[in-house]
A and B are shown apart, each in its own frame.
Chain A
Amino acid sequence: MPSENRPPLALTISAIAGLLFLHLPIALIFLYAFTTDERTYQFPPPGLTTQWFAVAWNRADVWPPLYLSLRVAAISTVMALILGTLCAAAMARSRFFGRDQISLLIILPIALPGIITGMSLRSAFAIMEIPFSTWTIVLGHATFCIVIVYNNAVARFRRLSGSIIEASLDLGANGFQTFRHVLLPNLGSALLAGGMLAFALSFDEVIVTTFTAGQQSTLPIWMLNELVRPRQRPVTNVVAIVVFVTTFVPILIAYYLTRGGSEIAGGGK
């Protein structure tokens, strides 16, 4: 009887209401990027215009934070890809004393509230007298980017039969050939997915960044500051759309790459 499979009407309505509650604000952000009102966000908007895209494009103060965010995200992602993969390889392929404890330590940064990570890094930088720079931001972001890549890679390693590496060696391949022809093709999509997630997370990270950035502003921090000022408000919304696209598209691609596996671990940071 098909009717038994139909959920009750009340449940359907409340589910739709819940989804709307979660996603309408995002639509509002998009809407206000086109409003003609530059001081308050009044609803409905008095008029619609696309002028803010041009204004945003011509505002000199938008570009340095954007470049900084892209640079930090790119460097953190590359670092995470290398270190996270190596970590995963060590954890998946060998057994040693304290392995489970080390595995927990690697995952800890993602479980730790960002504010704790930020505070501890800031005090560590102060003690070691490291001046704030792009690299201190990168270090902060790498702490959780590595975990994302690690989680993706370790899940894939676990699924791979350990003996395919032995089979490759047995057939005469050297270590490099085995990595290139057997390991990389099998890890590839997991690494791509992990890298994209890491990039997206780094790109919109605020909390750790506020503690490790010093005088520089990444794009999300610039936006936070901009919201307080009552001038040209829709510019912030235009930038928000840019942030949304640069983070949402990679996450979407990562999701489709690893569909069917429980591999998008730590996506909730």
Chain B
Amino acid sequence: MINAVEFANVSRHFGSVRAVDGVDLSITEGSFFAMLGPSGSGKTTCLRLISGFEKPSGGMIRIFGQDVSMIPPNRRNVNTVFQDYALFPHMNVRDNVAYGLMVKGVDKRTRYGKADELLALVKLDSYGARKPGELSGGQRQRVALARALVNEPRVLLLDEPLGALDLKLREAMQDELKALQRRLGITFVFVTHDQGEALSMADTVAVFNEGRIAQIGTPAEIYDRPRTHFVADFVGSSNVLSPDMARSFGAPARWASLRPEAVHIVESNARARGTVTALRYIGAGTRVILAVPGGEITAFVGKGLKVPEQGAEVGLSWDDTVLHVMEEG
């Protein structure tokens, strides 16, 4: 099976800055692939390497098996939803969407037909005659999406497309994007710094750090079994245990991670004892921050369970399997 996108030891250096440094990855056709990382981690550069706006300093990029190093952006069967949407301000919505067909020389009736079809797909049927300046952020985002889909790309690149939307709209768009991707069967490559977004939408997540991929895997793998200290820190508000703490809990003396929701507060058979230093109510439950010998552990106490008082000394317990020993520090 041919991968939609394949990076073989790809680097992109800007002077002495290694924006992307020896990245290997393959993106399965028809999958929803998320590139997750803090700003400056190289994820956006990777996206621009796929779209062709950046050229690799080393390594090879293949799109559907074809080496694309000599192919300029306008001749790649890949389209982008830009972070600021980049809608053409002087054209109305329908012309914006039809642009990709217009430059190919498709006749007016066909391209407007297709544009209207896509506007219906993103639920903006009646907005064709408006200018981008007259739309809300969420509507512009949909226009950008429709415009990028008009050429029927085999890979759709999305550069933090939900970043400018407010929380409620962002969640609605997450569901919509995911549904759209399933329906169209196109490979989506999605760049984000929001771990929740990556975990909830993607089939595969690549976590970037300093130009390299720290871990690549399914959302569950990334969340439950982070490979490095960085991944554990970045992906979730997980407890990262130092080698000393791990050993005191009966695990090998290596860095380990422990999910707050896997830590229970118990009366007896405690694996460790800790003092409650802070309580944080977060709606679905309470996060209890505890001082333990050698460090700090956060436990999550769900609704309906007893929340210990500040300053109380309590016992902590967890299943053997949930203490995850990481490969790297």
B84 near A170 (CB under 8 angstroms)? no
> What's the nearest-Cβ distance from chain B to residue A184, in Å?
10
A163 near B82 (CB under 8 angstroms)? yes
How many residues of chain B have a CB within 8 Å of chain A?
Answer: 26
Q: B73-96, CB under 8 A of A: which get 1 and which 0?
A: 111001110111011111000000
Q: Beyond A181-B99, A186-B90, is A172–B84 a contact (Cβ under 8 Å)?
A: no
CB-contacts of B139-157 with A (<8 A): 147-148, 150-151
A168 near B89 (CB under 8 angstroms)? no
CB contacts (< 8 Å) of A174 on chain B: these are 74, 103
A171 near B82 (CB under 8 angstroms)? no
B90 near A171 (CB under 8 angstroms)? no
Q: Beyond A166-B53, A181-B99, A181-B103, is A171–B79 a contact (Cβ under 8 Å)?
A: yes
Instruction: Tell me the nearest residue of chain B to A170, going by C-beta.
Output: B80
CB of B219 closer than 8 Å to a CB of A: no
Which of B87, B99, B148 counts the most A-chain CB atoms under 10 A from its CB? B99
B53 near A171 (CB under 8 angstroms)? no
What total count of A-B pairs have CB within 8 Å? 66
Instruction: Tell me the nearest residue of chain B to A184, going by C-beta.
Output: B90
CB of A26 closer than 8 Å to a CB of B: no
Instruction: Tell me the nearest residue of chain A to B99, going by C-beta.
Output: A171
Interface majority SS on A: helix, strand, loop or mixed? helix
CB of A91 closer than 8 Å to a CB of B: no
B103 near A173 (CB under 8 angstroms)? yes
A164 near B100 (CB under 8 angstroms)? no
CB of A161 closer than 8 Å to a CB of B: yes
How many residues of chain A have a CB within 8 Å of chain B?
Answer: 17
B86 near A185 (CB under 8 angstroms)? no
> In whole angstroms, how far apart are the Cα atoms of A119 and B73 in the complex?
50
> What's the nearest-Cβ distance from chain A to residue B234, in Å?
27
B82 near A167 (CB under 8 angstroms)? yes
B88 near A182 (CB under 8 angstroms)? yes
> What's the nearest-Cβ distance from chain A to residue B98, in Å?
10
Q: Beyond A177-B103, A186-B89, is A171–B84 a contact (Cβ under 8 Å)?
A: no
> In whole angstroms, how far apart are the Cα atoms of A12 and B70 in the complex?
69
CB contacts (< 8 Å) of B75 on chain A: these are 172
A166 near B99 (CB under 8 angstroms)? no
Residue positions of B touching A, CB distance < 8 A: 51, 53, 72-75, 78-80, 82-84, 86-90, 99-100, 102-104, 147-148, 150-151
Residue positions of A touching B, CB distance < 8 A: 161, 163-164, 166-174, 177, 181-182, 185-186
